[in-house]
Chains A and B, each alone.
Chain A
Amino acid sequence: MRITSWGQYPLIDAEWNYVTRSHKKTIARGMGRSYGDSALYSHVTSSRFLNLFLDFDSEAGYLRLGAGVTLGEILELSIPKGWFLPVTPGTQYVTVGGAIASDVHGKNHHRQGCFSEYVESFLLCLGNGEVVNCSRNQYPDLFKATCGGMGLTGIILEVTIKLQSIQSTFIDQIILKTKSLEETLELFETHTNSTYSVAWIDCLNQGRSRLILGEHAKGEIKLQNHSSLSIPFNFPVLNSLSIKMFNEMYYRAKKLNQEVYYQQFFYPLDKIKNWNRLYGKKGFTQYQFVIPKAVGLEGLKTILNKLRVANRNSFLAVLKMFGKQNENYLSFPIEGYTLALDFKLDKYLFDFLNELDSIVLHFGGRLYLTKDCRMSEKVFKQSYPQWQVFQSTREKYYALDKFESLQSRRIGL
């Protein structure tokens, strides 16, 4: 079967199976919302039928569920009972297993950390077929390797997570427009107390941006129907001109402060299903890096400058602030700023991204594995200093030679 992930690159032939207790060399796969080759291999194991809820304590907010349930389904169940995900990425079409494997972050990392912070425990199927219950107390090393471990320690089967209570399905949103990157970063710092913060920046205009702040509103739980549009086939309309126009319009958009429905606040891109097809069938990649706080401004400026000189623009350029790093061996966030840039693939793109890699490394930063399809082994190992601990934990729990992805092979894991 031909498979690919969100970036539609690479596209490979693979054998596809559902979870069983014994498997060939394989990699787990959820919704395939990772952009690159993390969930790709000649043999993949889909978590699709781990899609049942197991237990919901709606008094205390604990939820036990199969690893293939999506975050959207969790919210559908939990919101009417007043519970929300403490951390959510920018799309609800990801599985809870995928959220753990990438240790995903939201717009509140500076306050609430990564997804794994709210994971109580999970059942993991190891390379020898054994199923173990991992938590911070049981198999703590395996827990730290699996959260952020990109499926390379085993297959997550069942998960217990802790939800967060909410009083309203709305978010009080404030939008601040800035004229430059300096100003944007200053405002991020001024508003560290905001629960949610994120900036959409215009790469070609000194990084002028819209900084969006949000708080859970008070009031009541009200559900709204929301419709979505679907792009049924590859329809390449994103080019430098349309991106420029979008950014201009978006920057100028008037409505600033308002109460918005949670879907609109957290998942604006889910409005258009398969928007990845707007990049055409050659695919695209997202280049998401983080630069440590101390050199954040300088690092970001250097990168934006590089984009300008190369005349490369990104349709989406999303900037977030990261709080403290957690203990997981391969979790991406370190304290600083993270910028995500989307690029349509072309002949020269990877050379260009290699140049960006050197800048990111120079400033002590790193790239997000779940977005990556091309980083070299050298760049990875230099920027993820705990890779050896990760690797020996994999060895200890029979994962070597059992769980592999195209990515793990490329980066030498």
Chain B
Amino acid sequence: MTKIMIIGATSCIAEAVSKRYAKRGYEFYLVARNENRLKDLANDLKIRGAKSVNYGNHETITESLHNIDIVLIAYGTLGDQKACEQNVGLALQELNTNAISIMTLLTELANYFEQQKSGTIAVISSVAGDRGRQSNYIYGAAKGAVSIFLQGLRNRLYKSGVNVLTIKPGFVDTPMTKDFKKGLLWSSPENIAKGIEKAIDKKKDCVYLPFWWWGIMAFIRIIPEKIFKRMSL
């Protein structure tokens, strides 16, 4: 029986992932702040076929690390870049939520999995972490830091048989992006969830979701800084 821990379980993308694993009869340990939603989600997942669903908050993570096969970290905030530029406190808060707190968690999880000698650590980073842009470099810096941290962790845990997966979604239609104009490049959380499930199953290292974001980012990465700095992305 496979047991998955999802941290940030009430995020739109994480809920979609959970629904897929519920159908496969997984066991769950869900972590989030919103207890009401968590309770309802736990009930829903059981109806969908989950073998068992327990839940808690960030404080209960440590004590719940038993026989966990997969951990998915999915929480995050898309802060207001303009506001962060004017208020360093705000910027630090964003960096804390999207990078420092995740690295803190990962440190503990890494030690747990290293001992267990099996399992998967999957973290939702973002394409935004691939290159800094004026429109959201605080968020991008946090996501980029997480991506690099994960590279190192993957390298470290390889010999312990632990898989580390970096997930880089493009634009996803969720509450985080509620007020954005949606277009051709946008995906549904269900579609992203399908990609996450597949990447975890296949023990991938790093995935762009949908896959074609790989091409877009490859292109964006190779633009020389001399030109990039003049662009308004």
Contact = CB atoms under 8 A, between A and B. Distances in A.
Contacts of B178: 1, 16
A233 B183 CA distance: 9
Contact of A52 (B40, B181, B184): B40
Contacts of B181: 1-2
B101 interface: no
Nearest to B185: A232
Interface stretch (B41-49, B76-84, B134-142): B41-49
B179 A52 contact: no
Interface in B134-182: 175, 178-179, 181
A349 interface: no
A146 B27 CA distance: 39
Nearest to A2: B181
Interface string A1-41: 11000000000000010100000000000000000000000
B87 to A, nearest CB: 26
B175 A53 contact: no
Contacts of A59: none
Point out which of B23, B40, B47, B178 has the most chain A C-beta atoms below 10 A from its C-beta.
B47
A80 B184 CA distance: 35
A52 B41 contact: yes
B184 A233 contact: yes
A53 B44 contact: yes
Given A52-B44, A54-B43, A77-B48, A18 B184 contact: no
Contact of A18 (B23, B43, B175): B175
Contacts of A53: 43-44, 47-48
A55 interface: yes
Interface string A115-156: 000000000000000000000000000000000000000000
Nearest to A56: B47
B184 A77 contact: no
B47 A55 contact: yes
Interface string A342-381: 0000000000000000000000000000000000000000
Contacts of B47: 53-56, 77
Nearest to B15: A51
A270 to B, nearest CB: 14
Interface in B31-79: 40-41, 43-44, 47-48
Contacts of B44: 52-54
A261 to B, nearest CB: 19
B175 A52 contact: no
Nearest to B46: A53
Nearest to A15: B179
Interface in B178-205: 178-179, 181, 184
A246 B38 CA distance: 49
A1 B179 CA distance: 6
B211 to A, nearest CB: 15
Contacts of A232: 184
A72 B51 CA distance: 23
Interface string A77-99: 10000000000000000000000
B96 to A, nearest CB: 26
A301 B175 CA distance: 49
Nearest to A69: B44
Contacts of A56: 47
A269 to B, nearest CB: 19
A76 B23 CA distance: 9
Nearest to B42: A52
A325 B170 CA distance: 48
Contacts of A54: 40, 43-44, 47
B113 to A, nearest CB: 31
Nearest to A63: B47
A77 B19 CA distance: 11
18 contacts: A1-B178, A1-B179, A1-B181, A2-B181, A16-B178, A18-B175, A52-B40, A52-B41, A53-B44, A53-B47, A54-B40, A54-B43, A54-B44, A55-B47, A76-B23, A77-B48, A232-B184, A233-B184
Closest 5 CB pairs of A and B: A52-B44, A53-B47, A53-B44, A56-B47, A52-B40
Interface of B: 23, 40-41, 43-44, 47-48, 175, 178-179, 181, 184
Given A16-B179, A53-B44, 20 more contacts: A1-B178, A1-B179, A1-B181, A2-B181, A16-B178, A52-B40, A52-B41, A52-B43, A52-B44, A53-B43, A53-B47, A53-B48, A54-B43, A54-B44, A54-B47, A55-B47, A56-B47, A76-B23, A77-B48, A232-B184
